[in-house]
Copies of this chain bind each other. A is one copy, B any other.
Amino acid sequence: MMVTDGLIEGIRQGRIPVLARAISLVENGRDGYERLLSALHPLVGRAHRVGITGPPGGGKSTLIERLVQVYRERDITVAVVAVDPTSPFSGGALLGDRIRMDSLTLDPGVYIRSMASRGAHGGLATTTREVCDVLDAFGFERIIIETVGVGQSELAIAGSADTTALVLVPESGDGVQVLKAGVMEIADLYLVNKADRPGADRLVQEVEVMLGIRRGNALRHVGPHHGPATTGSGKREAEDVSEWSPPVLTSVAVSGEGVTELVEAFDAHYEHLEQSGELERLRREGLARHTRDVVDRALSNLVWQEGDGAEILAEKLDDLASGRVSPYKIAHDIVAHLQEAPE
């Protein structure tokens, strides 16, 4: 109890060492973590959360480094949560080739944290959200969430941000394949990075054509598309905020080209969300989904950690392996046992 109280107070006071301890508590699901998150809940919801996703090797980390620099020049505080196991932020644990971005990490207005993608106690998406909630409550104005845009769970994480950007690069069929499979309808912005390479223009066109097809199929857009122009200005016509047409931007992250435009497109999307009422709807949906996840986690803990589930299962393991009893019969018994014994 005392520990959690201290953490809550420290986060309200904006103390970085306390933040690190609070995040560890949440990430590892240690005693009192739900009490901490519950106490922080009224403080959550002020940050703009941006999900950045795409295949590995797309230059996402360099891009994020540049984004952070642009935000800091504007005196905006920013936290980065790396869920991408291939990200240098996450650290190539094996070879220890973690890139240390000293210029960023010495700045108290920047906080970088990687998620341990294995062993997240109740699902990586749920835990990532909770870590972002702590950073949000702490007062960071932007939270960038880096994921790899191929897996389902990673897409779910990126999709839970207010704004989601998909980063593609020329000379790689991957991104277009992902798009073709209909996986990335989720993105609010498309960015062709490494745009100084051959094939960049073609990729921009391909993505635009594909988005056009999708728009056509969806039959939602009858007139000309509103939303940011595809030239990367990030500006939109002021009179129509009800529709958002995902823009296709370009950048060369290593030189910083296009990064300011990207920041402006993020801001424009957030403004759209606020003015259209979408932000409130998205946040309510997100809170409802998160509550469901917390319930499912609690029930799972009730059976496997606090209850007799593990014991019942262990007793039946030989019968299970020999084929005498099915997983469904055992599951039925375990659930029935939980309901019989509410204490």
Contacts and interface: CB of A to CB of B under 8 A. Distances in A.
B42 A323 contact: yes
A320 B285 CA distance: 11
B42 A299 contact: no
Given A41-B327, A174-B57, A85 B313 contact: no
Interface stretch (A68-76, A179-187, A192-200, A250-258): A179-187
Interface in A106-138: 117-118, 124
B38 A328 contact: yes
Interface in A141-169: 148, 150-155
Given A57-B177, A177-B57, A213 B294 contact: no
Interface stretch (A4-12, A226-234, A270-278, A333-341): A333-341
A180 to B, nearest CB: 4
Nearest to A343: B339
Contacts of A93: 181-182
A80 B106 CA distance: 51
B38 A329 contact: yes
Given A38-B326, A317-B284, A327-B291, A95 B296 contact: no
10 contacts: A44-B323, A57-B172, A57-B173, A85-B178, A85-B183, A150-B151, A151-B153, A283-B321, A284-B321, A298-B335
A303 B313 contact: no
B327 A290 contact: yes
A278 to B, nearest CB: 14
Interface in A69-92: 85-86, 90, 92
Contact of A56 (B178, B295, B302): B178
